[in-house]
Amino acid sequence: MLNIAKIRKGWFIDQIEGLKEKGIPYTEIAASLGIKPQYLNLIKNTERGASEKLTLKLCETFDINHNDLLKYISTYEKQVPEITGENNPFVNLSPQKKIPLQDNVSDTGRNNERGSNTKLSHNRVNEWIDTGDLFPEATSAIRHYGDSMPEYPSGSILILKRAIDLGFIIWGRNYYVETSEIAITKRLQDGGEDFLIGYSSNLKTYPDGRLIHEPVKIPKKDIRNIHLILGCITREFGEGIMPTATQTV
């Protein structure tokens, strides 16, 4: 059985982020919905859901087609295996734990990495994965390639939690950041009013001492989405072995 409340919450957050990309600040969105900005943060960052009443008000206020939510639910439903019979291997799956695994469809960018520093065109969901109880706050996942962050092996899957407010960034933690130009996996630090600074944990240098993976200045105004990296999944000993999940400390 699908967890409709959780699916509705995910769709609600996507609409809020879409409005933000159009230049509408969270404070204005919250005021239009008759709630405080902190309430939007609670919906995103805690188990609090987005009620049907609030979702309808969002649609009415910002001229969003509510039928898109029904299509969203229908798309999600197609990803959940049909469960029949006691011996079905999917019987113990928890559909509400499934998150979209995105494939970053892009050209190779700076540092010749995809998923670390890449020219971004668009992401697409090509499958869904079940994280079980390991990552209850996860909202999506993405394939990671490159060597700028050696704690994440190239080819592993990063488990992400989407952040709704830059004010809640935890400095020194690893994030996956999408801008209009690049998709980048870095350790973030405060770069002042207008920028974030992304650092690589790979400190290898050229013979002259210069870092191979230099810090990156990320304009806040260009950020489309930002995700906290909760951990990663790696596959060992060949295709026949189940992936093992490791949580970031």
Q: Do both 207 and 234 map to the same domain?
A: yes
Domain of 141, in residue numbers: 95-247
Instruction: State which of 52, 79, 106 marks the end of a domain.
Output: 79
How many domains are contained in the chain?
A: 2
Q: Do both 74 and 111 map to the same domain?
A: no
Q: Do both 39 and 105 map to the same domain?
A: no
Instruction: State which of 79, 111, 138 marks the end of a domain.
Output: 79
Interval 232-247: pLDDT, tens: 887 654 443 334 344 4
Q: Do both 110 and 228 map to the same domain?
A: yes
The CA angle 54-58-59, to the nearest 5 degrees, is: 120
Q: Do both 114 and 219 map to the same domain?
A: yes
Q: Do both 208 and 102 map to the same domain?
A: yes
Q: Could you give the CA distance from residue 192 to residue 6 in angstroms, rounded to a whole number?
A: 35
Q: What is the 3-state secondary structure (H, E, C) of 163-205?
A: ECCHHHCCCCCEEEEEECCEEEEEEEEECCCCEEEEECCCCCE
Q: Could you give the CA distance from residue 160 to residue 176 in angstroms, rounded to a whole number?
A: 8
Q: How much is the pLDDT for 2?
A: 58
Statement: the pTM of the whole predicted model exceeds 0.75: no
Interval 124-147: pLDDT, tens: 455 777 776 777 788 889 988 889
Q: Do both 183 and 111 map to the same domain?
A: yes
Q: How much is the pLDDT for 213?
A: 95
| pLDDT-flagged residues of the chain (< 50) | 1, 82-95, 105-122, 124, 237-249
